[in-house]
A and B are shown apart, each in its own frame.
Chain A
Amino acid sequence: MELLMSVVVGVFFMVGTYLLMTRSLIRVVIGINLLSHATHLLLLTMAGLKTGAPPLLNRGETEFSDPLPQALILTAIVISFGITAFTLVLAYRTYKVNKTDDLDQLRGSHDE
């Protein structure tokens, strides 16, 4: 299962990186989003998938799953949610003000 997840993470990273290098603003935003999903999956996989019962004491279990990665992922999801919201607004404003969503034309010139 871990192996399959690693492959999934790899594919996510591949697609995300590809989108990040395209010229359209909105594709870059989607790329950033996919990359963050990939890292969250990676965090989950790295600690080992389901190695025991939920970490609740006094229920007769002896083997527990590690709860820390899930806490980390929750925090990371909240952060990436905020960043994505901001990125979308920024992309929209950039498009409105510069009148293009093509990053090649957003390169800028020397005479300003």
Chain B
Amino acid sequence: MMNNLIILPIILPAMIGAILVFFSKSQQIQRFISVIAMTAILIASIWLAIDVYNNGMRVIALGDWPIPYGIPLVADMFATVMVLLSAVIGVCCLFFAFRTIHPDRERFYFYPFYFFLIAGVNGTFLTGDLFNLFVFFEVTLLASYILIVHGSTAFQLRESFKYLAINVFSSMFFLVGIAYIYAATGTLNIADIGRRVAELEQDGVLNVIAVVLLFVFATKGALFPLYFWLPKSYTGPPAAISALFVGLLTKVGIYAIIRVFTVIFHHDLSFTHHFILVLAGLTMLFGVLGAVAQYDFKGILAYHSVSQVGYMVMGLGIFSPLALAGAIYFMVHHSIVKAALFLFSGVAEKITGSTDIRNMGGLLKTHPAFSWLFFITAMSLAGIPPLAGFFGKFSLIVPGLEETHYVVVAVSLFVGLLTLFSMMKIFSHSFWGRQKHSSTQANIKTGGLLITIAPLVVLTIVMGLAAEPIFFYLLDVAHEILDPSIYIESVLGE
């Protein structure tokens, strides 16, 4: 009975999304249902996380098919952390959307696709089958194609076509990878693949498959050199959608990389994980250089999320318990902070009517609460103690030095400096200086918007102050990830 809890975070949003289609014309009913549903998802995710922490991994065989043949849902601690994260981001973006999304968009199925996206994201976190992972990727992506083009401005249409083309291309390669894996191992259950790969010894063919899958997930997760689609497609849609995407979509790719490269391909570390480490360094560097060159509020943030993806993958490349714990901490931290920053860009756009920071100025004088909340979040992103970003980077750099990966550590420190620089660029352009918005714009009330972002800001402060207990928990998670036999044995029931 308790095992059925796993399916709630997937089936709730999927069903609610379908129900909401029928109420597309009534704003009130849609909002009412979505608030209740999102709260229910949040409660289910918290419950699942606590349950898995206390009682260990939970596995459910869908349709009661015996496990290597049927599709299992697997909730280990890593998955539950991610599901909880998606619920938190989902709640905040939903409330922000209530106040910013144009009523026309609400009438054109904004909420149904919002929930389908969440269903897809939770599905990718919880599934234990490689083909099922592909299906949930597609659910997520199809919802994201629609949300990204929602509103159909010329800019959005142009950029989303490219977004779609590159993602469909990489999805095809995912299928190719699945076909190869099926030919090589004869199974699609992730745990079962892990066991067979261990027996086969990872070389030749399996390394090729590893690179094909890395290519796929790197495209979805925006790693160097496959990040070029991200900045423009994330600047097109309204802030609530951009925030949801940056909080969840790229994390799906990184989650899949970590899952696949810890359970299945962990036998040839000097090849795969070294490769990943190089990619991580390049991703950080090129992402942040892109951000330095930008003057668009959202553009800077979007390029930054590329560079931050590098940090998460760096944790996997280093492959020690602390580094993986740091990578997961960084994923959580980054989702929260970057979602908050994208929502702040929406607030700034609402006040000044622009996203170009050269057209902004003097926000500190007219909107002090907004400015200081932004400042805290930006400092957290840049990694100033005692905020969460500092501990995220610290826990990656320390194991990086211990394992003597000096180059990537140096790159990450340099990137941290440039991150601080570009956050200060936003702050000095838009918040300091001469007031560039009119006095009527100066009187725009932002309290209602800020209340929806405040939980995220509080979370980043709490994550920083309570870093120690959080890291004890995450080290447990990392140990579980680093010992794939735990995952394999609990799924296959041996």
Instruction: Assess whether B157 is in contact with A39, with CB atoms less than 8 Å apart.
Output: no
**Chain B contacts for A32, CB-based, 8 A:** 165, 168-169, 172
CB distance from B450 to the nearest CB of A (A): 28
* B: number of interface residues (CB 8 Å): 31
Is B179 interfacial (CB 8 A cutoff)?
yes
Give the interface of A toward B (CB within 8 A).
20, 25, 28, 32, 35-36, 38-40, 42-43, 45-47, 68-69, 72, 75-76, 79, 82-83, 86-87, 90-91, 93-94, 97-98, 106, 108, 112
Residue pair B157, A72 in contact (C-beta under 8 Å): no
Residue in contact with A98 in the complex, picked from B135, B142, B154, B172, CB distance below 8 Å = B154
Q: Interface digits, B186-211 against A, CB 8 Å rule (1 contact, 0 not)?
A: 00100000000000000000000000
Report the separation of the CA atoms of residues A93 and B485 in the bound assembly, to the nearest whole angstrom.
Answer: 50
Asked if A93 contacts B138 (CB within 8 A), the reply is: no
CB <8 Å contact, A94 and B165: no
Besides A32-B172, A36-B172, A90-B160, 19 more A-B contacts (Cβ < 8 Å) are A20-B169, A36-B168, A42-B176, A46-B179, A46-B180, A68-B188, A69-B182, A72-B182, A72-B188, A79-B135, A83-B142, A86-B142, A86-B145, A86-B164, A87-B168, A90-B161, A93-B149, A97-B153, A106-B158
Bound-state CA distance A97–B135 (Å) is: 31
Q: Is the CB of B161 within 8 A of A91?
A: yes
Complex: chain A residue closest to B168, CB-CB:
A32
Report the minimum CB–CB distance from A77 to chain B (whole Å).
11
Q: For the complex formed, measure the closest distance between the CB of B287 and the CB atoms of chain A, giving whole angstroms.
A: 19
Indicate if B131 sits at the interface (CB-CB under 8 A): yes
CB-defined contacts of A98 to chain B, threshold 8 Å: 154, 157-158
Q: Across the two chains, which residue of chain B brings its CB closest to A48?
A: B183
A33 to chain B: closest residue by CB: B168
Residues of B within 8 Å of A86, CB to CB, are 142, 145-146, 164
Determine the chain A residues whose CB is within 8 A of the CB of B76 once the complex forms. none
One digit per residue, 1 when the CB lies within 8 angstroms of any chain A CB and 0 when it does not, for chain B 17-49 equals 000000000000000000000000000000000
Residue ID in chain A nearest B152 by CB atoms: A93
List 16 A-B pairs, Cβ < 8 Å. A32-B169, A32-B172, A35-B168, A36-B172, A39-B175, A40-B175, A68-B188, A75-B135, A79-B135, A82-B142, A83-B142, A87-B168, A90-B160, A93-B157, A98-B157, A98-B158
